[in-house]
Structure 1
Amino acid sequence: MRVQDLGVLQGPVLFFGGPYSNLQATHAVLDQARIRNATPVCTGDVVAYCGRPAETVAAIRAAGCAVVAGNCEVQLARGAADCGCGFAEGTTCDLLSVGWFGYANRHIGQDDRVWMSTLPAIVIFTHHGARYAVLHGGATDIARFVWSTSPDTVFAEEWATVEAIVGPVDHVVAGHSGIPFQRDVGAGTWINAGVIGMPPHDGSRTTVFATLNGGAVSFHRLTYDVATAVRDMEAVGLTQGYHSALCSGYWPSEDVLPPDLRVSRASG
């Protein structure tokens, strides 16, 4: 398992996940990193649902920020036929993934696939005396969905696996599941930075990123050009539901969510 050590980071750090081929949100979050003079760290899935996969990868690579491999990067690097999320066959998420992953697979070039193949599974660094590990979904499974309401045993298993790979850590930062949270899990704090390419299923068009400053984590809403992101998706035929989610703030399916995080409404 590839690990990248960023050493000691003295200033602010900006965590963001899931650019999801949303070029407008990607530019917006990179602007936030510059404005805040923060080191940007991405929790993976640079490419996914939206309409500008190659351009989004180009923007992330040009920024030079640390990126952990998401399941989408792993699958694209391998030339796989699906996103590797492990959705149950026939679920809405499984059916919708055929369209967006197929589009991304056709538009990501070989040089970007090689770059994806070099991405670390875990990024580590020290900040204000505390040691952080950044990963995508879980250390046991890159595509594991870890939620704010997951059982204590899930966090214990993931924490132990992380420490078996990189040694003791005080905090773990993750992405993948798309809904931000911070939870004290006994061994330390598990922080999900959320994603910037889709709203966190809460009815808002804004998405979420996190900052680490002076040892404190804060969550922030990201405003970006939603209308253009939607037009980009419509222009290439990605109209199976995620384009509507950018406007409605609700995902096209709640299949992936545990029952206690569902909001019981259609996204439209």
Structure 2
Amino acid sequence: MKHRDLGVLEGDLLVFGGPYSNLQATEAVLAQAEALGIAASHVICTGDIVAYCGAPAATLAAVRASGCTLIAGNCEVQLAANADDCGCGFEEGTTCDRLSVAWYAYARAQLDADARDWMRDLPDVVTFTHHGTRYGVIHGGVSDVARFIWETDAEDVFAREWDALEAIAGKVNAVIAGHSGLPFMRGTARGAWINAGVVGMPPHDGVCDVRFAVLDAGGTRIERLRYDVQGAVADMTNAGLPRDYADALRSGYWPSEDVLPPALRVSDRG
């Protein structure tokens, strides 16, 4: 695995995940970083630049042009290899699996060899030190880039991934991850596990706003982000993608809860 250490970062940081081919949300989060006075050197994306939405090439171009630090998500890994699927590990026959066929094929067709070469060089792990805390940044898990890790998971899930991370990057005091699409901050026996959420899709809470994280002298906070939802929906319509994820952008609810543990499913709440 490729590891990149950013050294000591002074000042505030912005971390976001999953642009997901949503150009409007990507532009909004990059504009938010600028509005907060956070330089590109202090902006980190946890991967999956290209996925569900309708502007893969333009979203990739925006992220590349921003100069922020990128982690390789499973989508980058798979597209770099020109693989046949997104590598998300969706169970065969589920709604997520069915929908991934369409969006992945579209994204794959939109990207050229230069984009794939760039993705191939992305680090799998990034580390940095901020206000005396050494952070490790990953996509999903270290054992599996596409591993879904949830706030409700058992302590040993976090412990095993922490061990795998430190075997590559040395001791860390906190972990920042993405992939799952739901932002959370979980205290573990080893330190804080922070999922910054994603900007390309709402976190299945009935609100169109997406999420990102800011790290400052006071700690970490998860922030909401508004963006041009209708513009993103129009891109998906023009791309001829299934309506399911476009509807999710407008409703704030995912088209399926297949990947979610029961405790996090809206349908299971009384």
CA–CA distance in structure 2, aligned partners of residues 235 and 58 of structure 1: 19
CA–CA distance in structure 1, aligned partners of residues 243 and 116 of structure 2: 26
CA RMSD of aligned residues (A): 0.8
SS in 2 for 1:133: strand
Q: How far does residue 215 in structure 1 lie from its aligned partner after superposition?
A: 5.0
- 1:6-85 alignment, distance < 5 Å: 6-38=6-38, 39-85=42-88
Match of 1:99 among 98, 102, 111: 102
Taking structure 2 as the reference length, what is the TM-score of the superposition? 0.97
- Is the 1:96–1:240 Cα contact (8 Å) retained in structure 2? no
**Equivalent residue for 1:2?**
2
**Equivalent residue for 1:243?**
246
- Is the 2:3–2:124 Cα contact (8 Å) retained in structure 1? yes
CA–CA distance in structure 2, aligned partners of residues 215 and 53 of structure 1: 35
Q: Do residues 161 (structure 1) and 161 (structure 2) align?
A: no
CA–CA distance in structure 2, aligned partners of residues 23 and 199 of structure 1: 14
Match of 1:259 among 243, 262, 266: 262
Aligned residues between the structures: 265
Structure 2 residue identity aligned to 1:78: A
Q: Percent identity?
A: 61
CA–CA distance in structure 2, aligned partners of residues 243 and 86 of structure 1: 22
- Is the 1:230–1:246 Cα contact (8 Å) retained in structure 2? yes
Match of 1:129 among 104, 127, 132: 132
- Is the 1:123–1:135 Cα contact (8 Å) retained in structure 2? yes
Taking structure 1 as the reference length, what is the TM-score of the superposition? 0.98
Structure 2 residue identity aligned to 1:260: A
Q: C-alpha offsets along residues 101-124 of structure 1, whole Å, 9 cap, x if unaligned?
A: 000000011101000000000010
Structure 2 residue identity aligned to 1:131: R
- Is the 1:127–1:215 Cα contact (8 Å) retained in structure 2? no
**Equivalent residue for 1:197?**
200
Structure 2 residue identity aligned to 1:159: W
SS in 1 for 2:199: coil
In the TM superposition, structure 1's runs of 4+ consecutive aligned residues that sit over 6 Å from their partners are none
CA–CA distance in structure 1, aligned partners of residues 253 and 127 of structure 2: 33
Gaps of 5+ in 1: none
Q: How far does residue 239 in structure 1 lie from its aligned partner after superposition?
A: 2.3
Match of 2:93 among 90, 108, 125: 90
SS in 2 for 1:241: helix
CA–CA distance in structure 1, aligned partners of residues 257 and 88 of structure 2: 15
CA–CA distance in structure 2, aligned partners of residues 186 and 31 of structure 1: 36
Q: C-alpha offsets along residues 64-109 of structure 1, whole Å, 9 cap, x if unaligned?
A: 1000000000000000000001111101111110000000000011
CA–CA distance in structure 1, aligned partners of residues 4 and 163 of structure 2: 19
Q: How far does residue 260 in structure 1 lie from its aligned partner after superposition?
A: 0.7
- Is the 1:24–1:225 Cα contact (8 Å) retained in structure 2? yes
**Equivalent residue for 1:108?**
111
Structure 2 residue identity aligned to 1:216: G
**Equivalent residue for 2:183?**
180
